[in-house]
Structure 1
């Protein structure tokens, strides 16, 4: 019985040779198509993650954490609590405050925003 597989030290070289053979078999047009399709799929997955990730409970918690203490220029700092709904169309905020060094100067409860991107 003979073992046709290369010794372990030759495995990286064998893998490189196999990759070169596959690349030659596919050719440049095939590689361009594979890379293009891969990029399109990656962009679609990223856009889907941004679109649908923001409507999950974890996504809303992430957005609340990122906006908590957000500086609004000379106005003060923003704090959002209880984000709910779909931030891309119809969402609500249980409590929103804007405060400066002197304390809270704007406080709103149970806000609803219904908007559509233009």
Structure 2
């Protein structure tokens, strides 16, 4: 594990967090105050890109991405069964929160899996 790269990536994540926090304070709307200050879509994309950079092989990244898609399908089926309908507004918020959790776990694991064999 290259600690310098991991340290730089953590600093990058802190900078993105601070920029997002500052932007939410500058462009604050009273209508959106009760909503989240951070965008889960942006965090998911950044964490996936850093994970791909760390693992350095798209072969190994296929497994967490497949798990991510399976969870998305299970979430769709679960919401359809529970509510007897599928509404995107209800789905997207839960989907992106779960996506951030999965991407964070994948990123943390990718920090320690940099020497996986290339297949």
Greater helix content:
2
TM-score where L is the length of structure 2: 0.28
Larger RCO (alpha carbons 8 Å, 6+ apart) = 2
Greater strand content:
1
TM-score where L is the length of structure 1: 0.28
Q: Which has the larger radius of gyration?
A: 1
